[in-house]
Structure 1
Amino acid sequence: MKNSIPGTDRLELDLAAEPSDRDNVTDWALAQFQDRYGPEVTKDGVWEYTYGVMHAPDWRERYRHDLQRKLPRVPLADDFEAFRAAGRELIDLHVGYEAVEEYPLACLVDGEPDEGKADPAAYRIASKMRWGGGHGHRNEDRSVLVVNDRCRLVGIPPEAHDYTVSGRSPLHWAVESLRVKHDKASGIVDDPNGWHDWAGEPFNLIRHLRCLVTVSVETARIVASLPPSLPND
């Protein structure tokens, strides 16, 4: 964090600073927070608060254009603890996404419920996963994810698509990135089915996708509980 914005209750966050072994939260920034919220505020608390604020809908709406060309501005919200606690929960959720509880999506193989008992080929990505429904964006059914012609995940809740990073939900990013790719020039094939996470246990792909839904749903729940982040101007 770099400087305060004159005449406002906001701090400017410097993401372009040279990396170092020092704390990402400077002593100056900590002092601003302690002056506002009390001496018990720590640098870890400031970081957690900032992560929480950056998920606040009003903050994202206010600075949606500025973030493309300016440093983020961190408001000194009325309720520090609400954003600190939310930020801590979000950090744990996003960093530890592979260890969260799987969302209870139904896995159907050949039309029947399955929990990893089918042959390994049943869970392999043939080329690219896709949403259920007919062809074309308007006909998509995003409550269903088709892994291949035999396997699909059913029961994806609408809120799984509410949390987005660069315009896509975690599940949408998985659909776009977990595909078999062929580089014509080199002949190299990038096949996610061979990645170590699920090469020996193909059903781990299903577990991974379920975890992504949990992360999205829980993030949406936390974000919906946040109070306003921006002080009244």
Structure 2
Amino acid sequence: MFNVKFYLCSKVFKDELRSHYQDNGIEKTDLFHYVYGLLHSLEYRETYAPDFRAFAEDGKNLMDLHPGYEEIEPWPLEEVWSGDKRDYAVQKIRFPKKVERGSIVYTNALTLKGIPEEVYAYVVNGKSPVEWVMEHYSVRVDKASGIENDANRMLEEIGNERCIVELIGCVVRVSVETQAILKTLGEIKNVI
């Protein structure tokens, strides 16, 4: 990850924040964490947070969670197999039905169950991270170029046939924990 301590704000601005929040311990890194947390608030467009430290802490927690999402302990998904063969080769990852999002059909033989509905409340660029993984790791052919995007080649290359299943578990965990942090973000009332 990049060095967030590298000139995130001027000394003058940092001093203004310290004065406004009556907290001489505010550092440049805290400002970055504060803004990251603030931007995840549902009310951030209206005003700024009354409690700098709370938003900075929540922002830090989000930053600890998001960049390392592939290394986080995966959510405990139940793997339900329809036969004896354990084949993780993927074709089209999908929901069993559009309205049934508590499970994912990974292959014709494997369904992943135990996905909390709150996962889909966390949206990045119009989709939940789970839906993004489902779309981008399904085998597909670009209509214009005819180039096939086959995630199975990646699985062979890295030598981990469960990689996408583990990734789904990771983004489920990140989404659940993100939602928990977002629920703790305070109301935004004061403008600096």
- Relative to its length, the structure with more strand (as a share) is 1
TM-score, scaled relative to structure 2: 0.86
5 Å-filtered alignment, 1:160-175, equals 160-175=119-134
Unaligned runs of 5+ in 2: none
Partner of 2:15: 31
TM-score, length basis structure 1: 0.72
Give how far 1:186 is off.
Answer: 4.5
1:52 matched to 2:56? The reply is no
Number of residues of Structure 1 aligned to a counterpart in Structure 2:
186
- Shift of the 144–164 alpha-carbon distance from structure 1 to 2, 3 Å rule, reads same
Q: Distance in 1 between matches of 2:156 and 2:50?
A: 43
Once the 2 structures are TM-superposed, how far is the Cα of residue 196 of structure 1 from its aligned partner?
5.5
Q: 1:159 to 1:186 in 2, by over 3 A?
A: closer
Q: Percent identity between the aligned chains?
A: 32
- Are 2:137 and 2:164, in contact at CA under 8 Å, matched by a contact in 1? no
Distance (Å, rounded) in 2 between the aligned partners of 1:28 and 1:195: 49
Structure 1 residue corresponding to 2:66, chosen from 94, 102, 105? 94
Q: Is 1:43 the equivalent of 2:2?
A: no
RMSD over aligned Cα atoms: 2.3
Change (3 A) 1:35 1:105: same
Cα shift at 1:167:
2.2
Q: What secondary structure is seen at the aligned counterpart in 1 of 2:54?
A: helix
The residue type equivalent to 2:123 in the other structure is T
Deviation track 1:82-133 (CA, whole Å, cap 9, x = no partner) reads: 1111111100100110111111110112268xxxxx54xx21211x211123
1:212 to 171, 175, 184: 171
1 or 2 for the larger relative contact order (CA 8 Å, sep ≥6)? 2
Which digits, 9 at most, give the CA deviation of each residue in 1:121-154, with x for residues without a partner? x21211x211123xxx4xx200011111111111
Any unmatched runs of 5+ in structure 1? Answer: 1-20, 63-73, 113-117
